[in-house]
Amino acid sequence: MPGFEVFGEEEKQQVLEVFETGVLFRYEFGEQRRGVYKVREFEEAFARYTGASHAQAVTSGTAALKVALSALGVGAGDEVITQGFTFVATWEAIFDAGAVPVFTEVDETLNMDPADLEKKITDRTRAIIPVHMLGAQARIREIKAIADKHGIPVIEDTAQAAGARLDGQHLGTFGACGTFSFDSVKTMTTGEGGMVITNDEELWRNMSEYHDHGHDHVVNPGGRGGEGRRFIGFNYRMMELQGAMGLAQLAKLDDMVASQKKTKARLKEAASAIPGVSFRTILDEEGDSATFLAFMLESAEQAAAVNQVLRDNGAGAIAFGENTWHFYPKWEHLMAGSTLCHNGWPFSLEGKRRVIYDPEALPKSAELMSRTLVYQIPVKMKNEQLDTITAALAKAAAL
């Protein structure tokens, strides 16, 4: 990752076809656009690729979560369970829907721990959002079984795992719906943009109408129809230029993943020489999108020492235990209940605090993340960079 590494004539041609029509809006202007509907074509292609019945393009991965939550009817007074290792967008969307995020531990997959999930379910739980973090599979079958037992829908946050599979089935197709991000650092990118996939036609219709201000799409499914509205909505529409980029990038996705796998294998082999090292649990190596290599040391002290050697040799790894964007106890604005709203929403309502988060609430995750190091895997890693990292890992192994 990211997909801009392979920008070429395919992306240029797709975009030029949009410019030739002069229509950037995904709907209407039928005569002027001369049959060119890039967003609709992208939705259809993405649905075919993942094996989903329906796909709804939106403006971002964050918007995809908000649209999915809204389509499922999540709102004020509800709780939505997600994991404590994720990008802030996952829980931002939950708050924006009016609900309260509840966080679980992660296990050695670096994704939701099903055992802790079971403990966090209450009679207010309205949805569960496991995240296929760093491009690899959560224990989605176990999570789905728990959710089904309680009658709770699952939204798969697949923002970082486009192209990943579990036993041949695309991630994002196990739950009620799956959300994707195509932002500037994702394996396939449209600059900004996102997608929601589902096999539930009524859920898709809700998403289709909600993301377009509630416009009635019944007359022309996937397009605009009459002037009736079943409910209020908002504007999360993808524009034609993004759809054009998505078509070109999607056609390259499997090749990008294959390239990442080769590089990841080289780095994993080099990291294997470090005494006491272990690797993140990957449930299906063949289905891994290989966007990251995550490895664990025996202690936080060893991880810090190893990373210092890597940094000193120009190949520092990401220590997500220290990262302020992706790990629960480091979200200082969440812990403090910081908000622009004068009444304290979404943390407070009518002068009463709705929720308070304890930075010590996920000890298992904190211990695991404190000794975890991660490398991002480019689509095209230059030989010089690969040599630098492998040489640094060799020096770390000699500690």
Q: Parse the chain into domains and list their residue ranges.
A: 3-252, 253-325+362-397
Residue 303 has pLDDT above 90, yes or no: yes
Task: Report residue 222's pLDDT band, with 50, 70 and 90 as the boundaries.
Answer: very low
pLDDT score for 31: 87
Alpha helices in the chain (DSSP H): 9-21, 30-33, 38-50, 61-71, 89-96, 114-120, 140-150, 201-210, 240-271, 300-312, 332-336, 363-370, 383-397
- Mean pLDDT, the chain, whole residue set: 96
pLDDT bin (cut points 50, 70, 90) of residue 107 is very high
pLDDT at 221 > cutoff 80: no
Residue 353 DSSP symbol = E
- The closest of 23, 60, 86, 43 to 250, measured between CA atoms, is 43
Catalytically active residues, by annotation: 186
DSSP string of 178-236, one letter each residue = EEEE--TTSSS--SS-EEEEES-HHHHHHHHHHTBTT---SSSTTS---S--SS---B-
Note the helical H segments in 272-351.
Answer: 300-312, 332-336
**Average pLDDT score over residue span 328-354:** 96
- pLDDT above 90 covers a percentage of the chain that reads 93
Confidence label for 378 from pLDDT (cuts 50, 70 and 90): very high
- Identify the pLDDT of residue 223: 59
Please state whether beta strands 194-198 and 54-58 pair in parallel, antiparallel, or not at all (unpaired).
Answer: antiparallel
DSSP 340: S
Tell me what pLDDT residue 390 has: 98
Least confident of 44-48, 53-57, 157-161, 213-217: 213-217
**Residue 263 backbone dihedrals phi, psi, to 5 degrees:** -65, -40
N-term to C-term CA, the chain: 30
Is 50 exceeded by the pLDDT of residue 261?
yes
Q: Give the C-alpha separation, 391 to 233, whole Å.
A: 54
pLDDT of residue 226: 67
Q: Which CATH number fits domain 253-325+362-397: 3.30.360.10, 1.10.3720.10, 3.90.1170.50, 3.90.1150.10?
A: 3.90.1150.10
pLDDT at position 220 is 57
CATH number of 3-252: 3.40.640.10
Which residue would you say has higher pLDDT here, 228 or 320?
Answer: 320
